[in-house]
Amino acid sequence: MKSSAPSRILSGPVPVLDAAIRERVARLHVVVVGDVMLDEYWFGDVRRISPEAPVPVVHVSRSDERPGGAANVARNIVSLGGRATLLAVVGADATADRLRRALDGAGVRHRLSVDPALRTTLKLRVLGPHQQMLRIDFEERPSAPALQANSAEYERIVGEADVVVLSDYGKGALARAAGLVAFARRLGKPVLVDPKGRDYSDYAGATMVTPNRAEMSEVVGSWSDLAELDDKAEGLRAQLRLEALVVTMSEQGMRLYSQDGVVRQPARAQEVFDVSGAGDTVIAALAIMHGVGASWEDAVAFANAAGGVAVGKLGTSVVQFDEVAAFLQGTSSP
């Protein structure tokens, strides 16, 4: 894939997202590694203040749960039409069982390393009729032996991948990102990283990194105008030896930096309902399009549309290939 010239899938007056592309997407295998979590939502009414403490009592009538973090990236790979295998560390607990069931239901293959001392990351939201009342996080860092098992599993299966995605939520799963990047690159696999933290040196040599604005400013500092952002982004891209860097900028769309210079993609969403999880959809879409040989420019146009579809949806951040294709062709609003 790397040796052939990138194809202009989206060039011309109407984007060509035809059956042939879909077939290539369907054969594509993306290995996703990173921090997984379960997002849980409890909805209810508030009718009184607790007699035990001055806090509202939420009478729960409904609940919902969703795979989050790297698990949401993997789910988006599948909903966009590709095949995904998820590698992560979980605990030996009910949260991990629920995560596995959700992944099975979504058609995501998984190889989860179990750390018996770890509590699987869980984000529990309690929502009243008008607002979120409380969020409760269970979050621990995986042990060294569990990370070792996860790396060993990765080295066993990464040869079967067309693309590798590292989904870093800063919770410890990618403490050894440098080794994961190097191993995949030695095999000639593209590695796309959704980054976190102040220091990106572990991502050096990856193919692409996709910080959002806040993540970008954490690593390069603030910028006073877009020219300064572009300078800093080019500097970071050179320093990390990336083929491409994409800064996702919420309502301002995206900026792509590559050897061809800077490409600006204005945001495409017409209506915005729920911005959470758009970043997961974006990196899944980039992985899919890069995997089928699209140019970076086309991959970013597709991913920007996918992000636009994602934020136009309430309560789900999973996007289908056909929704993105329709959105790009202007036949449907999100």
Ligand X SMILES: Nc1ncnc2c1ncn2[C@@H]1O[C@H](COP(=O)(O)OP(=O)(O)OP(=O)(O)O)[C@@H](O)[C@H]1O
Residues serving a catalytic function are: 280
Eight-state DSSP code of residue 259: T
**Contacted entry of ligand X, Mg ion, none for residue 18, CB cut-off 5 to 8 Å set by kind:** none
Does 272 engage in binding with ligand X (CB under 6 A)? yes
Q: How many residues comprise the chain? A: 334
260 contact partners, CB below 8 Å, separation of at least 6:
296, 297
Count of residues engaged in binding Mg ion, rule: CB under 5 A: 1
Q: Choose the binding region for Mg ion from 180-188, 225-233, 278-286, 309-317 (rule: CB under 5 A).
A: 278-286
CB of 279 to Mg ion, least distance (A): 3
Q: Choose the binding region for ligand X from 109-117, 122-130, 137-145, 306-314 (rule: CB under 6 A).
A: 306-314
Closer to ligand X by Cβ: residue 190 or 307: 307
Residue 206 contacts residue 193 (beta carbons within 8 Å) = yes
Nearest to 244 by CA among 198, 186, 303: 303
Does 68 engage in binding with Mg ion (CB under 5 A)? no
Residue 289 contacts residue 303 (beta carbons within 8 Å) = yes
DSSP string for 99-141: HHHHHHHHT-EEEEEE-TTPPPPEEEEEE-SSSEEEEEEE--P
3-state helix, strand, coil in the chain (%, to 5): 40, 25, 35
**Contacted entry of Mg ion, ligand X, none for residue 82, CB cut-off 5 to 8 Å set by kind:** none
Closer to ligand X by Cβ: residue 132 or 148: 132
Residue choice 98, 267, 274, 320 for contact with ligand X (CB under 6 A): 267
Binding-site string for ligand X from residue 215 to residue 254, where x marks contact by CB under 6 A and - marks none: ---------------------------------xxxx-xx
**Contacted entry of ligand X, Mg ion, none for residue 251, CB cut-off 5 to 8 Å set by kind:** ligand X
Listed in order, strand segments (DSSP E) in 181-331 are 191-194, 208-209, 244-248, 254-258, 261-265
Distance of CA 182 to the CA centre of its chain: 20
Residue choice 67, 277, 291, 334 for contact with ligand X (CB under 6 A): 277
d(CA 126, CA 103): 23
**Contacted entry of Mg ion, ligand X, none for residue 254, CB cut-off 5 to 8 Å set by kind:** ligand X
**Contacted entry of Mg ion, ligand X, none for residue 272, CB cut-off 5 to 8 Å set by kind:** ligand X
Distance of CA 119 to the CA centre of its chain: 22
Count of residues engaged in binding ligand X, rule: CB under 6 A: 21
Does 279 engage in binding with Mg ion (CB under 5 A)? yes
* Cα R_g (the chain), whole angstroms: 20
Residue choice 167, 212, 258, 295 for contact with ligand X (CB under 6 A): 212
Nearest to 257 by CA among 280, 281, 279, 232: 232
Eight-state DSSP code of residue 270: S
Task: Name the residue number minimizing CB distance to ligand X.
Answer: 279
CB of 246 to ligand X, least distance (A): 8
Closer to ligand X by Cβ: residue 163 or 246: 246
Q: Which residues here bind Mg ion, judged by CB under 5 A?
A: 279
Question: Applying CB under 6 A, which residues contact ligand X?
Answer: 212, 248-251, 253-254, 267, 269, 272, 275-280, 282, 304, 307-308, 311
